[in-house]
Amino acid sequence: MSVYSDLAIDLAIIGGSGFYQLKPDTPDEKSEHTNYIDISTPFGKEAIRISQDLLNETSVFFLPRHGVQHNVPPHKINYRANLWALKEAGVKKIIAVNAVGAINSQMAPGCLVIPDQLIDYTWGREHSFFDGLNSLHDHIDFTYPYDSQLRELLISEAKELNISVFNQACFGCTQGPRLETAAEIQKLKRDGCDIVGMTGMPEAALSRELGIPYACISLVVNPAAGLSAEDITIEKIKKVLGEGLKDVRKLLAACVLKL
């Protein structure tokens, strides 16, 4: 049993690029910051800091995977420590938010995607809790990497809010931190990927190993490399993030009431 179980907080939200705090940028999005919890894990000396927030008068945990200053690149994130800390906090469901590039031409910058499949192209990351030092099982069924009930909730609440989402997509997770080449994107397209990002794995698999239902909201911030005549710039990405995260927060606020 978690030492934090008396908090009775079931949902954790993991924020991606540009999403470093749950507190909204505008006062009409009902959220307010409460306090922080530091949780030690077996996977590093540094404790993982999680914020406890109110969203639509419901307590949730929030964890920015890159840190509040975006000082941790995707290939250096301590995914195992992050997920272990959420488990220790008593979390029973996780909704992750990822900034992605679009491979599917129908997915324009600013749109939301609720992926149902993924392909992992990362390497060298600590991708499992099973390392011979604990009793966790080593083989998980990962046929469908995202929890179907959480996905359906996200899709149905988006419909209620008139937020357009793509409810099926394959997430291609690359190593980073550099963006992909045009040839790499063409390979991912041939493989069947619709979107590309750098933080989808091993987060989803680690959640499955811990028995925590997991789904993600992917915010498209740019066409993937070679699919637009324009260069990919951080300035353009930040502009799309600023607008797109408004819909993300609205969707999350609606979902917490049903959880």
pLDDT in tens, 197-237: 999 999 999 999 999 999 999 999 999 999 987 777 778 88
| CATH node for 5-258 | 3.40.50.1580
Give the pLDDT confidence score for residue 7 in this predicted structure. 64
Alpha carbon 31 to chain centroid, angstroms: 19
Give the pLDDT confidence score for residue 243 in this predicted structure. 87
Rounded (10°) CA dihedral 141, 197, 18, 250: -60
Q: What is the CA radius of gyration of the chain?
A: 17
**Would you kindly state where each structural domain of the chain is located, as residue ranges?**
5-258
Give the pLDDT confidence score for residue 242 in this predicted structure. 85
Give the pLDDT confidence score for residue 5 in this predicted structure. 55
What does the pLDDT look like over 17-30, one tens digit per residue? 888 888 755 444 44
Strands 31-39 and 214-223: unpaired
% helix / strand / coil in the chain, to the nearest 5? 25, 25, 50
Say if CB 222 and CB 240 are below 8 A apart.
yes
Here the tokens at position 78 are 């301590």
CA dist., res. 227 & res. 222, Å (int): 10
Give the pLDDT confidence score for residue 31 in this predicted structure. 46
Give the pLDDT confidence score for residue 185 in this predicted structure. 97
pLDDT in tens, the chain (259 residues): 455 555 678 999 999 888 888 875 544 444 445 689 999 999 999 999 999 998 988 999 999 999 887 889 999 999 999 999 999 999 999 999 999 999 999 999 999 999 999 999 999 999 999 876 655 567 899 999 999 999 999 999 999 999 999 999 999 999 999 999 999 999 999 999 999 999 999 999 999 999 999 999 999 999 999 998 777 777 888 888 888 999 999 999 999 988 8
Residue that is written with structure tokens 């008396």 in the block: 6
Q: Cβ neighbours of residue 59 under 8 Å, at least 6 residues apart?
A: 7, 8, 9, 34, 52, 53
Q: Cβ neighbours of residue 124 under 8 Å, at least 6 residues apart?
A: 75, 175
